[in-house]
Amino acid sequence: MNEQVNLKTVPHEGEAISKRDWVPINLDLRDTWFPVAYSADVGTRPVRRVVHNQDVYLWRDGAAVHAAEFRPDRLEAMRSCASAFTGGSGRYPIVECYGYVWTWYGDPDHAHEELIPNIPFLPRDGQGIPRYTQRAVRFDAASPLSVENLIDLTHADFLHADVVGDEKMDKETVEVFHDSETITMVRSCVNKSVAPVMKLFGGVKADVQQVRQVIRIYLRSHAAIAYGRFSPGDNVQLFHPCVPETRDRTRLDYTMNTSNVKKSNPFRYVMPKASYKVSRQDSSMTSPQSPRYMHSEPRKDLHSPLDEAGQKYRVLMLALAERQARGDFAYRDNVSTDCSEIIGYQK
């Protein structure tokens, strides 16, 4: 790659990363796949997506799917302007799986299909994923901030209480697991207030539920798995990719796979639409913070023990950014390994 990682926000080599100091996250991690569009949204007519201000045009030509920096009719004429992201060819590496078209952001020579994040509850070949489970929304905030908001599962009790239930419960346990490419938060709640969406549409009659919620983040891809087990109630299977379009804008083409829910249960069709409401609630909190998020400031970054996942997320993102600033883009941990066990997935 010719382009350098933005060093302004990355600590210099040897400089300690303090967990207590507010340090902005470098946005621009390279050598990663982004799920830029639903497969079903890509046809013969080109569609445009944006990743870190870079244009990505997608289209089909018979059985082949294409991704390029330029419109297909301009591709030949513009080839001399092609960037290092396409190795000067104008064409991005591309893979279709889990119902998405994924394009590579980084050095095309480093693109390998086995670097696509594992999503246990979506069919790898993308076949049979109902369209009602696929909905697109936006966050008016930086993608890492949107991810950081998400990995704090406890925020839902306050911000989304009218959808997924409030903070009332008898006991709460939070566990955080990580490697160099992923972070996973597991939250277990005993006798938690029933999610209103399940009470209204999911046929849950009880007042309390036993809840086990998991968020797993694939750091470079800004992609999250949200998996919840609710008893009584249905399991919630959400693939939540935050694609960084611009500094303060995130595209979320999510898949809320409710195909496990009984056809007679309205929850199956209502729950995928809940993010229209939920994403506005998230955006209302993260959008005002987004301009500040990218700037360093001397203020101490105070936090409680429940913020462990968010703190760890920052540390891990900075560690990746630091390595990339030194020219090290290699993966030290495997993101395509089956994570069913870690998230407690029940088939």
Q: Where are the alpha helices (DSSP H) in 118-224?
A: 143-151, 156-159, 161-164, 196-201
Give yes or no for residue 152 binding Fe ion (CB under 5 A).
no
End-to-end CA distance of the chain: 41
Closest CA to 32 of 244, 309, 249: 244
- CB of 125 or CB of 162, closer to Fe ion: 162
Q: How far apart are CA 210 and CA 226, in angstroms?
A: 17
Binding mask 223-262 vs Fe ion (x if CB under 5 A, - otherwise)?
A: ----------------------------------------
Spacing of C-alpha 73 from chain mean position: 32
Q: How far apart are CA 189 and CA 83, in angstroms?
A: 49
Q: How far is the CB of 159 from Fe ion (least distance, A)?
A: 5
Q: How far apart are CA 304 and CA 53, in angstroms?
A: 35
CA-to-CA dists, residue 299 to 23, 153, 195, 252, 296, angstroms: 10, 25, 37, 31, 9
- CB of 28 or CB of 282, closer to Fe ion: 282
| Proportion of the chain in helix, strand, coil states, percent, rounded to 5 | 30, 30, 40
**Among all chains, which residue has been given the structure tokens 């993608």?**
143
- CB of 49 or CB of 251, closer to Fe ion: 251
Q: How far is the CB of 33 from Fe ion (least distance, A)?
A: 24
Beta carbons of 190 and 165 less than 8 angstroms apart: no
Q: Is the peptide bond before 232 cis (omega within 30 degrees of 0)?
A: yes
- Per the structure block, which two tokens stand in for 115? 């670097």
Which of these ranges, 181-189, 240-248, 275-283, 317-325, lies near Fe ion under the rule CB under 5 A?
A: 275-283
Q: How far is the CB of 164 from Fe ion (least distance, A)?
A: 9
Q: How far is the CB of 278 from Fe ion (least distance, A)?
A: 6
Longest dimension (CA), the chain: 65
How are beta strands 100-105 and 32-38 bridged, if at all? antiparallel
Give yes or no for residue 157 binding Fe ion (CB under 5 A).
no
Give yes or no for residue 282 binding Fe ion (CB under 5 A).
yes
Site for Fe ion in 56-85 (CB under 5 A): none
Q: How far is the CB of 216 from Fe ion (least distance, A)?
A: 16
Binding mask 184-213 vs Fe ion (x if CB under 5 A, - otherwise)?
A: ------------------------------
Which of these ranges, 137-145, 210-218, 278-286, 327-335, lies near Fe ion under the rule CB under 5 A?
A: 278-286
- CB of 50 or CB of 137, closer to Fe ion: 137
Q: How far is the CB of 279 from Fe ion (least distance, A)?
A: 8
Q: How far is the CB of 21 from Fe ion (least distance, A)?
A: 26
- CB of 162 or CB of 297, closer to Fe ion: 162
Residues, the chain? 347
- CB of 94 or CB of 151, closer to Fe ion: 151
Angle separating helix axes 143-151 and 308-325, nearest 10 degrees: 150
| DSSP state at residue 296 | -
Which of these ranges, 103-111, 236-244, 263-271, 281-289, lies near Fe ion under the rule CB under 5 A?
A: 281-289
Q: How far is the CB of 274 from Fe ion (least distance, A)?
A: 11
Q: How far is the CB of 155 from Fe ion (least distance, A)?
A: 6
- CB of 32 or CB of 286, closer to Fe ion: 286
- CB of 161 or CB of 315, closer to Fe ion: 161
The sheet carrying 54-61 orders its strands as 47-51, 54-61, 64-68
* Site residues, Fe ion (CB under 5 A): 282
